Chains A and B, each alone.
Chain A
C-alpha cells in the first residue's frame, strides 16, 4: 500500500523550496520543479505573494515570531498536526509555545491528500526536516547580518538566533529583513536532519495541540458544521449497497412530522449510492422521525440475499484451490516440497465482517457558493473522493472543495468518502445547503466494512522436523479494488493485480526456503460489500 503515497512524496522531494517575505510574514513553501530560467524570473517574494507557485506544504513565521504550520493530514486521534509541526519546529529552532497548526482544505496546492496506514510522520519526516533546515539557514543568514556577526557563530534556539553574547528573535528578523531565497531540490536534499542527540523537541515529552479543544467542547467535527439556511437530511439506505433501485416512496405518514421538508430519490452517475433516498426536515430529529415514517419499495439487486456464511464458504473453497489468486511471494518450489514432506499441517483461519463503528456517525454538510460545491466533513482520502463527488454532481473537479474537520474516529472508515455523495446530490437537487447525518443504525448498516476473510496455511516438515516451507492463500474482499483499482500493483508473476491491503504482513521478515503467498479476491465478498481498509 505504500506505493499509493510514495509517488506523490517522491515528487515532493524533487521540488524547490521557496522562502520569502510576504505581507510582513516569512513564507516558506515547496514549489514544483521549475526550469532554471523560470527560477531566476521574478523574485521569490513576488512569486509567493502572487501565488505563482503550487506548494504542497508550507509554514510561515509572522513578525511577532509566531510560527504557523499548515497540515494536510487528517486528525483522528494521532495528534498528527502536532507531530508534523514539531518536525518543522525542531529544525527551525522555533519556540514551541509560539507554534500553531491549521488543517487545510483540498486546494490543489497541498498536493495529494490521504491519511492512513501510519504513513504520515514516516513519509513526511525527511522533507519537513529539510524544509526546516532551509528555514533555519535563511534565519541565521539574516540574523547574523542584523547582529553584525558571522553566520558561523550563530545557532537557533527557542525562536531566536543566538551568537556569543547576542541574540535576535525570529519575529524581529522577519520584521526587519526582506528575505528572498530559493533552494533547489538538490540543495534541499543535501540537508540532513539533526542527530537524535541534538534534538530539542522530537521524542521529548510534549502536549498535543489539538487536545485543549477536545476537553472543553470547542473542537469542531464534521457533525458540528452549520451552514446558513441549511436543511437537515437523513439517508434512507437501501437493503443492499449495490444494485438496489427505488420503485416507489410513500411519505403520507412522514408528512405528519413537524418540520418535514420532503424527500429526494438520488440519481448518482458515479454509482456510489444506488437506490438511496434522503429525507429532509428543518431539524435532525424531524429527519429521523420522517425517515422512520417513510415507506420505500425497492427492486433488489442480485446480492440481496448473500449471507456472511456464503462469503466465508466461497472464501474457503478459494483458499483451498491452490491455483487461485495472485502470487505475492514465490520462493523455492512449494509444490515439490508438498510432495516430499514427511509431515504437514493445514490450518484455516476465518475472520468475520468488521465494522469500523466510529463514535461520530459519518456525515457531510454541503453548500454551493458561486457554482463551487463546498463539502464540509472529516475525511482521510480527500484526493480520491473529490473526483467522485464531482462525477456524481456532473461538474468538474475544480468546482469541488472539501473542507477538513476533526474526525470523530477514522480507523479506515473515513478513507472512503461515500457519505459525501448523498449530501452533495441532495444539496444540488434542492438548491439549498444540506447537513446529512447518518443515524447510528444507518452508519452500522452501511459501513464500508473490513471484509470477511479466509486464510489457509499449509506447512511442511522433513523427517528431521525441519520446516521446509509454507503455502498461504488469503481470500477476501479487496478495499483497493473497490476504491482505487488503478493503484493495485502487479503480482510477481505479472498475471494480474492484487490489493496489498488484503495481504499486509504475509510477505514477512522470516526467510523460508519454500514460501508461496496468494492474494485471492473473494468475489462473493466484493460484490455485496464496499470493503475499506
Chain B
C-alpha cells in the first residue's frame, strides 16, 4: 500500500506498484482533470506536481510517490492567478491539454516569477497543444508574471500561500 497526499488530503492506494500515477488519480481517486495523451511522457497532458515539481504522471509509478505530495488541476481550486489569466485570454480550444499546460505553467512561475519569453518557451515546450493555442498560453503566462511588479503569489489553497520575489 502506498500513502501519499493528493491536493492536501492523505490517500492510500492498493494498485499494483508499477501503475502510473495517472491511472491512480483518474480511475482510483476519480479526479478526471488530469488527462491521458500518450503514456510515454511526450505530450504533457498528464502533468501534475510531485513535491512542487511538474512531472508526467503517465510514466511515474505509484511506488515512487510514497509519502509524497501530489497537486493536480483540481487542487488549484479555480483560484490560481493563471486560471484567471486563462479565462481572460480565452486560452482553451478543445481544452484537452489545458490542465497539463496550467500545471506546467504554475510550476514555472513558482520557480521563476519573471520568466523571459525564452524561459517560457523552454519550460513549456514539452506540453503539446494540437489546437495550437500556444500564443494565448504564452500571453496568459506573461500577464500573470507581470502582475504586481513581478511578484507572483502562487496560490495553493492546501498549503500556506507563499510569495516568490521576481527579478528586476
Which residues does A use to contact B, with CB under 8 Å? 76-79, 207-208, 210-221, 223-224, 226, 232, 258, 283-286, 288, 357-361, 406-411, 437, 439-440
Contacts and interface: CB of A to CB of B under 8 A. Distances in A.
B33 A217 contact: yes
Nearest to A359: B96
Nearest to B84: A215
Interface string B20-50: 1001001110111111111110010100000
Contacts of B33: 216-218
Contacts of A440: 37-40
Contacts of A258: 16
Nearest to B99: A217
Interface string B86-110: 1100111111111100100000000
A361 B83 contact: no
B130 A216 contact: no
Contacts of B90: 207-208, 211
A86 B99 CA distance: 27
Given A220-B32, A258-B16, A406 B95 contact: yes
A218 B92 CA distance: 13
Which of A226, A285, A360 has the most B CB atoms < 10 Å from its CB?
A: A285
Interface residues of B, number: 45
A213 B83 CA distance: 11
B76 to A, nearest CB: 7
A215 B83 contact: yes
A48 B15 CA distance: 51
3 closest A-B pairs by CB: A217-B33, A214-B95, A77-B93
Question: Would you call the interface of chain A mostly helix, strand, loop, or mixed?
Answer: loop
Interface in B36-86: 36-40, 43, 45, 72-74, 76-78, 83, 86
Interface of B: 15-16, 19-20, 23, 26-28, 30-40, 43, 45, 72-74, 76-78, 83, 86-87, 90-99, 102, 128-131
Nearest to A361: B36
Contacts, number: 117
Nearest to A216: B78
A410 B16 contact: no
Given A215-B83, A283-B27, A223 B35 contact: yes
B130 A357 contact: yes
A435 to B, nearest CB: 9
Contacts of B77: 216
A210 B36 contact: no
B130 A223 contact: no
Which of A211, A215, A406, A408 has the most B CB atoms < 10 Å from its CB?
A: A215
Given A215-B83, A285-B16, A408 B35 contact: yes
A79 B93 CA distance: 7
B38 A360 contact: no
Contacts of B36: 223, 360-361, 437
Nearest to A444: B38
Contacts of A79: 93
B96 A215 contact: no
A212 B31 CA distance: 17
A440 B128 CA distance: 14
Given A284-B23, A284-B27, A217 B94 contact: no
Contact of B95 (A77, A285, A357): A77
Nearest to B88: A207
10 contacts: A78-B93, A79-B93, A214-B92, A216-B78, A221-B35, A226-B27, A283-B15, A283-B23, A359-B94, A437-B36
B31 A217 contact: yes
A153 to B, nearest CB: 39
A281 to B, nearest CB: 11
A409 B45 CA distance: 13
A77 B87 contact: no
Contacts of A437: 36
A166 to B, nearest CB: 37
Nearest to B72: A217
Given A207-B87, A224-B32, A439 B39 contact: yes
